[in-house]
Amino acid sequence: MSERILKYTEALREATDQVMAQDSSVCVFGLGVTYKNGADGTTGGLKQKYPTRVFDTPVSEHAVTGMAVGSAISGMRPIVHHGRVEFSLLAADQMFTQAAKWNYMFGGNHPVPIVIRIAVGRQWGNGPQHTQSLYGMFGSVSGLKVVIPSSPRMAKGLLIAAVRDPNPVVILEPRWLYALKQHVPEGIYVENLGKAQVVQSGKDITLVSYGDGLVSAREALSIIGEKASVELIDLVSINPVDHETVIASVSKTKRLMVVDTTHASFGIGSEIIAGAAKAGVLSSAPVHLSCPDVPCPTSTALTEDYYPTKVIIATTILKAMGKAPIEQTLSFEELHLAPSITLP
């Protein structure tokens, strides 16, 4: 019997369909979510199945998110979709000040079970204004849970867990991963919203990443082969950060490398390195791969040197181990087109 393979977007759609079928309080808000291929294919057909619970909205992010926050406070479980992180910033007050703080202000007896899905990160030709991730901004907000799915299987499990959670949960979805494929269980299941996952065990060096950086890290390990024993950790959650899993790994390997697919300044990688440094488990200086501290260019001639690639990651790991670098040239497709590979 062949495995059931879904794309990242298909896994998100299935998760939404299943929680809506199971719980009549779940509803969906967002620009274009009622379209045939709504929200990049993640809500297609749901309006026909749940006509009174899927709402196409105007380009009014603040008002729409505020309406959803109010419905969550009143007992609904809304899912709000923002197709670009830059657009979601217009709803910053509703996310960061209202949803994130409401339960705390009222003694913990007034949950706000809202899920906010936001597409983030790189996409060919989108340039400086539509390729931001802003992970550090969302991760710094007390009162929010913030997760980044790195695979179709995780995307489905995290979305279901987020809908069931009484707290506001932000799901930052790297659009670079939307075409990824993987075996995804058909039934309802959940992934832990606050727990990192050890993707591969190793003893020489700990490699920590998340989202699209995690996919590049996986590919880097296939290049390295047996030249180094790498423990690969998918951070999964950036609020809260699972320092315990990372520190346990670095306590064993004594070396740490972090891959960010955004700027290093005030970023997730810096937070991971700080946690390991405070724990006193490093025997050498940590390595931090990230994007330059400039906006992402539009030109492909410039973006080919912008993001950490699998070759850069592999070469940096080997350098940290005192071994010869990898000599490999990447094609235009590998550098600039979103991956459509099938993950294990």
The domain locations on the chain are 5-183, 197-336
pTM over 0.85: yes
Residue 3: per-residue pLDDT:
81
3-state SS of 151-190 is CHHHHHHHHHHHHHCCCCEEEEEEHHHCCCEEECCCCCCC
Residue 254 near residue 269, CB atoms below 8 Å: no
**pLDDT tens per residue across span 223-254:** 999 999 999 999 999 999 999 999 999 999 99
Q: What is the C-alpha separation between 23 and 20, in angstroms, rounded? A: 5
In CATH, the number for domain 5-183 is 3.40.50.970
Give the Cβ contact number of residue 287 at 10 Å.
Answer: 19
Q: Do 5-183 and 197-336 fold alike per CATH?
A: yes
Residue given tokens 């269980």 in the structure block? 185
For residue 62 the two structure tokens come to 């603040």
pLDDT over 90 percentage in the chain: 94
**Each residue of 9-28: b (16+ CB within 10 Å) or e?**
bbbbbbbbbbbbeeeebbbb
Banded pLDDT at 2 (limits 50, 70, 90): low
**pLDDT tens per residue across span 139-198:** 999 999 999 999 999 999 999 999 999 999 999 999 999 999 999 999 999 999 999 999
**pLDDT tens per residue across span 62-114:** 999 999 999 999 999 999 999 999 999 999 999 999 999 999 999 999 999 99
Torsion angle of the four alpha carbons 201, 202, 207, 209, in this order, in degrees rounded to the nearest 10: -10
Q: Which fold has domain 197-336?
A: Rossmann fold (3.40.50)
Catalytic residue numbers read: 61, 130
CA angle in degrees (0–180, nearest 5) for 330-234-197: 145
Half-sphere exposure of 138 (CA within 13 A, CB side): 28
